[in-house]
A = this chain, B = another copy of it.
């Protein structure tokens, strides 16, 4: 179960509210690279963890719980960046003051409206669980496969795209408070990348491959499990680590195979009577 402290994990300050930056920050809340995703992903991996030891369940809970605080920080940052935005278009000074200065032009009001309408209309100037285009986060992005090694790679993937996003936001930020918040979050993304890679290392690296390593590899085709398949019509292909030498898992040798049909043309035959296909598909005359 869970507890809270109403203070934030790390300070969130914003000197120069920028409503467009608020919109960008939404990607880090409700985007597929965002914090709701990692938070819920770690929780579901923890809650469903089956293993002889509760060690990974425990570890996942620590980090999932930390991530709630990251959503909270970002939601606060969005609200602060909207702070000086006009709550309505009639409000005095809507296109002036700080916002006007930031925008620097006569069409400021409309540019803001064009970007912000959803925040004005639906939330009263607060964060939403949506991405920077207003698309709601969809929980199908919570990857929890029941295989801990697969899950760890999902987590590395999430933290890698997450840190890429966070550094882009850092590059886009003008406000010192925002930069400070992000430089903390980027550091946490570094650790989280490391953390999941550390688990993979602990799981034995090569020995963990191919995932799942509980499936006898003898049951998979031995003919093509380390072949790079070439599908170009002219048979050319780019050479690389993947075309020769020992495989990464140390269990095979990379080779190159020019892809070609080993199967036949599939023929499903006529449609079934009573299947409401067209009569010609069934091989009948049209019904009367």
Contacts and interface: CB of A to CB of B under 8 A. Distances in A.
A98 interface: no
B216 A288 contact: yes
A176 interface: no
Interface in A189-218: 189-191, 193-195, 197-199, 201-204, 207-218
A86 to B, nearest CB: 8
A239 to B, nearest CB: 8
A23 B127 CA distance: 20
A245 to B, nearest CB: 9
In the A-B complex, the 8 residue pairs with the smallest Cβ-Cβ separation, listed nearest first, are: A124-B146, A48-B126, A133-B134, A8-B263, A7-B261, A105-B107, A87-B275, A88-B171
B237 A62 contact: yes
19 contacts: A1-B5, A2-B3, A5-B233, A6-B54, A6-B61, A6-B232, A6-B265, A20-B114, A47-B126, A120-B168, A124-B275, A129-B142, A134-B135, A136-B140, A150-B161, A183-B221, A187-B221, A198-B247, A213-B278
A209 B193 contact: yes
A266 B135 contact: no
Interface string A237-262: 11011100001110010100001111
Contacts of A262: 8-11
Contacts of A268: 48-50, 76, 79-80, 83
A210 B137 CA distance: 26
Contacts of A248: 194, 197-198, 201
B3 A65 contact: yes
Which of A167, A183, A233 has most B Cβ within 10 Å? A167
B261 A8 contact: yes
B27 A277 contact: no
Given A1-B68, A167-B212, 14 more contacts: A5-B234, A23-B117, A44-B128, A55-B240, A80-B266, A89-B172, A91-B273, A122-B165, A124-B271, A146-B275, A187-B221, A189-B210, A190-B217, A194-B242
A236 to B, nearest CB: 8
A170 B221 CA distance: 13
B50 A263 contact: no
B212 A278 contact: yes
